[in-house]
């Protein structure tokens, strides 16, 4: 039975009541429309659990488009804080993984496997080396998506079949594996990869696929209109990766007070493109990155080894952010970079408790916190504004 005190704390003004009901209705419509856009029969059907890697009944799993892989809706982003407090490790001296890094990544991978995570995304040579060590003997517990940022399609001098094959071979060698589940090609960040570059990528993929070195082809870029054009033009691409946050607006919804018109034209916006429709039409898996605005969502700045468990506020913000993202059923998985076992626990709890639902108050709070950080992004992250509306 509620006390008078608890009753009084739940009393809403007429204005608050209308605002919250509107927010809930908008969220429900957004979720329903997202399912329809991507095909809810493909995304939400009950999977064949014996075939799922690291299956945990608490974890949600979704089909990664035409790859037919069933992956955890929370994946492990390859990045984690380095000793300078930067968001990723690029290389290790003499290609040797430091012992404290081995210990940290071993603990994180173990926690991920226990929680039901089965998807790992890797983007640097250091990440390949580190995960190659800690996954030794456990390679079959993770789907691995990888590319090396120093050898990838972003650099024009690498855009030959010979050099791209070297990229794949070196990733495999550092990972101590014979194959990549996905060669997730890092295309030019600003959409400058040409058709000639893409043809080299496709020829490389065909060659590597025939040799058993690569099973599926994915691509990522920070330029949305270019990325949409590429996935519409080349059906060989099976998955795509791009930024998506808790407040990202979807262009196929009509403009309104909860779905602003796209006005950030200086960041490559357009008003008639719709990447979700292209993803659905091509049956492409979608793995989203930058859920926390590249770490800019949080005020606490850390460096390796990350100590402490963070504030209750930031832990709650991380969990609810991931849940807001996963409400969009067009998304197969979101992949935060996780520096500690505690961060793994927060991220996986987002999936484990997603079916309990989010309250109107939670969603409103996440939106307000995220919008504050959008407004104060440092210059090096302003490109993320191209992904406020997709």
pLDDT digits (tens, 9 = 90+) for 41-90: 344 445 677 789 999 999 999 999 999 999 999 999 999 999 999 989 99
In the three-class reduction of DSSP (H, G, I as helix; E, B as strand; rest coil), residue 36 is classed as helix
What is the C-alpha to C-alpha distance for residues 252 and 243, in angstroms, rounded to an integer? Answer: 17
Strands (E), 117-202: 119-122, 143-146, 180-186
Query: Following DSSP, what letter does each residue of 166-179 receive, concatenated?
Result: HHHHHHHHHHT-S-
Q: Give me the pLDDT at residue 263, please.
A: 36
Q: Is the pLDDT of residue 9 over 70?
A: no
Q: Any long-range contacts for 95-104 (C-beta under 8 Å, 24+ apart)?
A: 95/125, 95/129, 95/174, 97/126, 97/129, 97/130, 97/133, 100/305, 101/130, 101/304, 102/130, 102/133, 102/134, 104/80, 104/304, 104/305, 104/339, 104/340
In the three-class reduction of DSSP (H, G, I as helix; E, B as strand; rest coil), residue 239 is classed as strand
Q: Give me the pLDDT at residue 120, please.
A: 98
Cβ contacts of 81 within 8 Å, gap of 6 or more: 87, 302, 303, 304, 306, 337, 339
* Fold entry, domain 66-387: TIM Barrel (3.20.20)
Q: Give me the pLDDT at residue 347, please.
A: 98
Q: Give me the pLDDT at residue 376, please.
A: 87
**Secondary structure of 51-74 in the HEC alphabet?**
HCCCCCCCCCEEECECCCCEEECE
Split at pLDDT 50, 70, 90, the class of 284 is very high
Q: Give me the pLDDT at residue 170, please.
A: 98
Radius of gyration of the chain (CA): 21
CB count within 10 Å of CB 194 equals 11
User: pLDDT tens, 82-101?
Assistant: 999 998 999 999 999 999 99
Domain boundaries, the chain: 66-387
Q: Tokens 């609810």 identify what position?
A: 320
What is the C-alpha to C-alpha distance for residues 260 and 75, in angstroms, rounded to an integer? Answer: 29
Q: Beta partners for 219?
A: 185, 240
User: Is 0.75 surpassed by the pTM of this model?
Assistant: yes
Q: Which helix (H) or strand (E) holds 233?
A: helix 224-233
User: pLDDT tens, 339-386?
Assistant: 999 999 999 999 999 999 999 999 999 999 999 988 888 888 888 888
Q: Give me the pLDDT at residue 253, please.
A: 52
Q: Tokens 């009901």 identify what position?
A: 21
**81 close to 304: Cβ distance less than 8 angstroms:** yes
């Amino acid at each position: 039975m509620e006390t008078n005190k608890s009753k009084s704390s739940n009393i809403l003004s007429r204005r608050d009541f209308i605002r919250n009901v509107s927010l809930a209705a908008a969220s429900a419509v957004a979720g329903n429309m997202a399912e329809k856009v991507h095909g809810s029969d493909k995304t939400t059907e009950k999977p064949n659990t014996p075939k799922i890697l690291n299956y945990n009944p608490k974890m949600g799993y979704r089909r990664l488009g035409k790859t037919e892989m069933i992956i955890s809706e929370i994946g492990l982003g390859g990045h984690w804080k380095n000793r300078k407090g930067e968001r990723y490790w690029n290389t290790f001296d003499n290609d040797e993984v430091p012992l404290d890094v081995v210990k940290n990544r071993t603990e994180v991978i173990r926690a991920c496997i226990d929680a039901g995570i089965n998807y790992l995304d890797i983007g640097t040579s250091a990440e390949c080396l580190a995960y190659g060590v800690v996954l030794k003997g456990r390679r079959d517990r993770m789907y691995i998506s990888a590319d090396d940022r120093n050898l990838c399609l972003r650099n024009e001098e690498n855009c030959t079949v010979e050099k791209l094959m070297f990229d794949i071979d070196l990733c495999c060698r550092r990972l101590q594996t014979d194959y990549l589940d996905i060669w997730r090609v890092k295309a030019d960040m600003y959409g400058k990869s040409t058709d000639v570059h893409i043809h080299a990528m496709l020829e490389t993929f065909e060659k590597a696929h025939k040799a058993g070195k690569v099973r599926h082809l994915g691509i990522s870029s920070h330029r949305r209109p270019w990325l949409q054009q590429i996935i519409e033009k080349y059906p060989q691409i099976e998955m795509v990766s791009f930024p998506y946050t808790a407040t990202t607006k979807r262009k196929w919804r009509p403009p309104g007070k909860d779905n602003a018109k796209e006005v950030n034209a200086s960041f490559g916006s357009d008003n008639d493109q719709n990447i979700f429709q292209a993803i659905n039409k091509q049956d492409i898996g979608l793995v989203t990155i930058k859920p926390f605005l590249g770490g800019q969502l949080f005020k606490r700045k850390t460096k390796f080894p990350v100590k402490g468990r963070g504030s209750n506020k930031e832990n709650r913000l991380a969990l609810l952010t991931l849940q807001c993202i996963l409400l969009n059923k067009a998304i197969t998985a979101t992949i935060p970079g996780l520096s500690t076992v505690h961060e793994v626990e927060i991220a996986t709890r987002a999936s484990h408790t997603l079916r309990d639902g989010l309250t109107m108050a939670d969603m409103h709070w996440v939106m307000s916190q995220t919008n504050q950080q959008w407004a104060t992004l440092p210059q090096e992250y302003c490109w993320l504004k191209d992904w406020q509306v997709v």
